[in-house]
Amino acid sequence: MQAETILIGQVLSFSGHPFHLDPEEAAQIDEAVAFGDGKILAVGNETTLLAQFPEAQVTRHPGKLILAGFVDAHVHYPQTAMIASWGKRLIDWLNSYTFPEEGKFGDPAYAVEIASRYLDLTAAHGTTTMCSFCTIHPESVDAFFQAAQARGQRVVAGKTCMDRNAPDFLRDTAQSAYDQSKALIGKWHGADRISYAITPRFSPTSTPAQLEAMGALWAEHPDCLMQTHLSEQTDEIEWVRSLFPETRDYLDTYEQFGLLGARGLYGHAIHLEQRERDQLREHGAGLVHCPTSNTFIGSGLFDMAGLMAEGQRIGLATDTGGGSSFSMLRTMAAAYEIGQLRGTPLHAAQLIWLATQGSAETLHMGDVIGNLSPGKEADLVVLDLASTPAIAQRSERAETLWEAVFPTLMMGDDRAIAEVWIGGRRV
Binding mask 225-254 for ligand GUN (x = CB under 6 A): ----x--x----------------------
CB of 70 to ligand GUN, least distance (A): 19
Running DSSP on this structure, what letter comes out for residue 137? -
User: Contacts with Zn ion in 64-123 (CB under 5 A)?
Assistant: none
Least Å distance, CB 151 to ligand GUN, is 24
Site string for ligand GUN, 87-116 (x = CB under 6 A): ---x---x---x------------------
Q: What are phi and psi of 76, to 5 degrees?
A: -125, 95
φ, ψ dihedrals at 336, nearest 5°: -65, -45
CA distances to 32, 60, 175, 402 from 29, in Å: 9, 16, 52, 11
Q: How far is the CB of 98 from ligand GUN (least distance, A)?
A: 5
- For ligand GUN, the closer of residues 43 and 114 by Cβ is 114
Minimum Å gap between C-beta 229 and Zn ion is 5
Binds 366, which of Zn ion, ligand GUN, none (CB < 5 to 8 A, cut-off by type)?
none
**Closest residue to bound Zn ion by CB:** 267
Q: Of 3-11, 26-34, 319-327, 328-336, which segment contacts Zn ion by CB under 5 A?
A: 319-327
407 binds Zn ion (CB under 5 A): no
User: Which of the listed partners (ligand GUN, Zn ion, none) does 249 bind, with a CB threshold of 5 to 8 Å by partner kind?
Assistant: none
Query: How many whole angstroms separate alpha carbon 47 and alpha carbon 268?
Result: 45
| Region for 205 from its dihedrals, namely left if φ exceeds 0, alpha if ψ lies in -120 to 50, beta otherwise | alpha
- Of 23 and 267, nearer to Zn ion (C-beta) is 267
Q: How far is the CB of 127 from ligand GUN (least distance, A)?
A: 18
Phi and psi torsions of 298, nearest 5°: 80, 40
Q: What is the 3-state secondary structure (H, E, C) of 186-229?
A: HHHCCCCCEEEEEEECCHHHCCHHHHHHHHHHHHHCCCCEEEEE
Nearer to ligand GUN (CB atom), residue 10 or residue 165: 165
Packed helices 328-341 and 401-411: angle between N→C axes, nearest 10 degrees: 100
**Would you say 95 or 176 has its CB closer to ligand GUN?**
95
Which partner in ligand GUN, Zn ion, none is near 293 (CB below 5 to 8 A by kind)?
ligand GUN
Give the distance from CA 13 to its chain's centroid: 19
**DSSP assigned state of 75:** E
Tell me whether residue 315 or residue 407 sits nearer to ligand GUN (CB atom): 315
- In order, the DSSP letters of 305-317 are HHHHHTT-EEEE-
CB atoms within 10 A of CB 93: 21
Nearer to Zn ion, 101 or 319 (CB): 319
Cβ-based nearer residue to ligand GUN, 190 or 298: 298
Total number of residues that touch ligand GUN (CB under 6 A): 12
Q: Which is nearer to Zn ion, 45 or 96 (CB)?
A: 96
Q: Tell me the C-alpha distance between 277 and 130, whole Å.
A: 25
| SS3 label, residue 65 | strand
Residue 422 interacts, among ligand GUN, Zn ion, none and using kind-specific CB cut-offs from 5 to 8 Å, with: none
**Which residue's CB is nearer to Zn ion, number 75 or number 404?**
75
Among residues 72, 101, 255, 319, which is the contact residue for ligand GUN, using CB under 6 A? 319
3-state secondary structure of 248: coil
Site membership for Zn ion, residue 267 (CB under 5 A): yes
Assess contact for 206 and 161: CB atoms under 8 A. yes
Strand order in the sheet with 57-68: 39-44, 27-36, 5-14, 57-68, 380-383, 417-422, 425-426
293 binds ligand GUN (CB under 6 A): yes
Residue nearest to ligand GUN (CB): 322
Chain positions 174 to 213 lying near ligand GUN, rule: CB under 6 A, are 201-202
As a whole number of angstroms, the distance between CA 415 and CA 391 comes to: 11
| Cα 128 to Cα 343: distance, rounded to the nearest angstrom | 31
Cis amide bond preceding 126, omega within 30: no
Q: Which of residues 211-230 bind ligand GUN (CB under 6 A)?
A: 229
Quote the least distance from Cβ 158 to Zn ion, whole Å: 12
Query: Rounded to the nearest whole angstrom, what is the least distance from the CB of residue 142 to ligand GUN in the complex?
Result: 20
List residues near ligand GUN by CB under 6 A: 76, 90, 94, 98, 201-202, 229, 232, 293, 297, 319, 322
List residues near Zn ion by CB under 5 A: 267, 319
